[in-house]
A and B are shown apart, each in its own frame.
Chain A
Amino acid sequence: MGTQTSDDLRVHDTPGAVPTLSVEGLSIEFSRRRVWTPVVHDVSLKVMPGEIVGVIGESGSGKTLSALAALRLLPRQARVASGRVRLGDIDILAQSEGQMRALRGNRMALIPQDAMQALNPTMRVGLQVAEPLSLHGGKALKSVAGAATQLLEAVGIARPAEQARSFPHQFSGGMQQRAMIAMGLALAPSLLIADEPTTALDVTVQAQVLDLLRDIRTSRGTSILFITHDLGVVAELCDWVYVMRHGRIVEQGSVARIFRDPKEDYTQMLLAATPSIHGPRRKAGLA
């Protein structure tokens, strides 16, 4: 995967550090008419503590499936064929469904693509944001309502106490995504899995959400696995990038190196295909 240069060092990968998430040789199969077809092949990746890792690839490249496998939330028609997934020192694939429920939202949280769709339209935002606290803390939902206000405030929602009583459709897209992030942060998980969290947002709001994620990493040391097809977002946010195509990881490297010197043809194509006002495209010599 190319010679290591000074800007291709994985700064978070210090000797002796245990990865927050490590995926080794993960293969996922899909069933179509009872025939199992492999869709993700031998994917290995890791996310170190406090690191923001990007997984980039086009639609259908298996990036979301790989992430869902980490939460053991694969759709009904899919199954893990082989491989290992570890969250810290927990073997995810060996957990019972009940044990998984205790981990989800608690040790790792998912920030979905479309926050509007991800919020229950019939429940007030505050109650939803506080739901992980009640689920994992064993407290009544009403008693954690105060915590919701603090969470909403932490993600930069103005007048949080008032907004906690709103319904999701009364929120703007950016506020909805902030609310989802607040829900994800409720129990201070060590890993956030963000599945294209900014795709549905316009560019200015997108930048705010990215800032927020960066702040979370800095202030709480949370690891973030960031799934996207948007190279601009990767350049802005991530430390380390995996490039996926057709269910395989074709290249990995530091953001700086990938943009400066993409080794794989596919990565070069991706870079060339991205309209960008930043430097990387020229730097890559593809303009």
Chain B
Amino acid sequence: MTEGFDFYRWRLVILGSVIISVILICAIFAPWIAPFSPYDLDYTAMLQGPGATHWLGTDELGRDILSRIIYGARISMQVAFIAAGIGLVFGAVIGVTAAYFGGIVDMVLMRFMELLFSFPAILLAVVLMASLGTSVLNAMIAIGIVFIPGFSRLARAATEVVLREQYVESARAIGMSHGRILLREIMPNIIAPLLVEAAVAFSYAILLESALSFLGLGAQPPEPSWGNMLNTGRGFMAQSAIMSIAPGMAIFLTVIGFNLVGDGLRDALDPHMKD
């Protein structure tokens, strides 16, 4: 019945959560954690390497790189959560609706999803950004839209499985309404794979946001984002490699963290491993 906490089973999730927690704390408490302002220029200390004052050195305008990384975490985290949230909510609603009502509803919704799916993710995001305009908010929306087809397919497949379950039929047999069946019988039973997908989507959202910022479509300078820092750093690779390495490492660590959580959750929530 009640069992002790199984550390081994959750080890990946824990490791990933620790990494993400550190980054989250940085994002939330950036003004208190960052040693300098991310916007203050210091023309006496440009392109410095890592040192005692500036732990990760300074960029081409003498701004503290560590502080900019810490502030950049805000944008990355916001984009990750909001974009994955948009994808999860809309994808789940579309997928569950398609599977539950079937027929023409299923046909129309899923063909539309396939249409979205047929664009390469980055291209779709760029096109959406071009039509929505460049801003961080629009980047979140664009990335969220990129995620919707994946989530909807997953939700639809999971719902198809649950619909064949007898408990859905029993729910009908006691006179439950469509809404209640969707909410009480189907949703709780498909949420696990969707959450795993969401964790993967987080890391992908961070990559996409970085890519959009790198292309100049996401966060606009002087707003620090890992993507546009990487882009700026590219031009100073020979003088100061840390300008590229620092944001690259930040992206890398965050993505690893979310992937660990995603993979770990998938394993830990796998019903075959339940005892």
Contact = CB atoms under 8 A, between A and B. Distances in A.
Contacts of A132: 174-175
Interface in A111-138: 112-114, 117-123, 131-132, 135-136
A120 B174 contact: no
Contacts of B175: 100-106, 132, 135-136
A99 B166 CA distance: 22
Interface in A52-105: 71, 73, 76, 100-105
Interface residues of B, number: 19
B171 interface: yes
Contacts of A151: none
A183 interface: yes
B176 A112 contact: no
B127 to A, nearest CB: 38
Interface centre among B165, B173, B177 (most CB of A within 10 A): B173
A234 interface: no
Interface string B155-177: 00000000001110111111111
Given A105-B174, A132-B174, A118 B169 contact: yes
Given A122-B188, A170-B1, A117 B174 contact: no
Contacts of B165: 117
Contact of A71 (B1, B173, B177, B180): B173
B221 interface: no
B189 A101 contact: no
A120 B189 CA distance: 8
B102 interface: yes
B174 A183 contact: yes
The SS class assigned to the B binding surface is helix
Contacts of B263: none
Contact of B102 (A71, A76, A105, A183): A76
Interface string A134-156: 01100000000000000000000
A118 B168 CA distance: 7
A104 B166 contact: no
B176 A135 contact: yes
Shortest beta-carbon contacts, A-B, top 9: A105-B174, A104-B175, A110-B173, A117-B166, A122-B188, A118-B166, A105-B175, A101-B175, A118-B170
23 contacts: A71-B173, A73-B169, A73-B172, A73-B173, A101-B175, A101-B176, A104-B173, A105-B174, A106-B175, A109-B173, A110-B173, A110-B174, A118-B166, A118-B169, A119-B170, A120-B184, A120-B185, A120-B189, A122-B188, A122-B189, A131-B174, A135-B176, A180-B170
